[in-house]
Amino acid sequence: MKKTLFILITVFSFFCSSPAQAETLTKRDEIQLRDDLIFIMLYPSIQQELKKQYGEIKQNYCGKITQIKKLPIGSYLYNVIVQVTTFEGAHSPPNDLVTITFSNEKTIEWQAIDFQRRRLKPNEVTECRNPL
């Protein structure tokens, strides 16, 4: 009985404290959390597209969402543009800046509808904020 009461109080305390933490998030924090969640959900599709384009699994970092575009108003259809930097070995050159546009307009699954890559010069390679 004491154990059950302790678990109940712990769970209740957790749920009571969560809204206060959520309220302290800034709009920027909320956008970053949203973008991180979307990126993580798209990551298997990103890996699949990199393998398709390069012919092998390609290591990458500095992943980010650069644009989210809602398609027809009132729908749940979107185009999402992601960017990653590819590398060889221990974050060594050659590095490509890869931009992939994903869409869920034609199927329920996310499909790559555009793929662009540009070889980065050594002075263009930068440290990223949040390596994924």
Once rounded to an integer, what is the mean pLDDT over residues 55-75?
92
Within 8 A by CB and 6+ apart from 101, the residues are: 79, 80, 81, 112, 113, 114, 115
Would residue 21 count as lying in a domain?
Answer: no
pTM over 0.85: no
Q: Is the pLDDT of residue 104 over 80?
A: yes
Counting Cβ atoms within 10 Å, is residue 53 exposed (0-12), middle (13-18) or buried (19+)? middle
In a domain, 9, yes or no: no
Task: Read off the pLDDT band of 89 (50, 70, 90).
Answer: confident
For residue 103, tell me if it sits in a domain: yes
Q: What is the distance between the alpha carbons of residues 95 and 66, in angstroms, rounded to a whole number?
A: 19
Could you tell me the two tokens for 18? Answer: 């969560």
Residue 87's pLDDT band, with cuts at 50, 70 and 90, is very high
Confidence of residue 5 (pLDDT cuts 50, 70, 90): very low
In a domain, 132, yes or no: no
What's the domain count of the chain? 1
Percent with pLDDT over 70 in the chain:
80
Q: How far apart are the first and last CA of the chain?
A: 44
- Does 1 fall in a domain? no
Residue-number span of the structural domain to which 55 is assigned: 27-124
User: Considering the domain boundaries, does residue 72 fall inside one?
Assistant: yes
118 falls within a domain = yes
Residue 104 located in a structural domain: yes
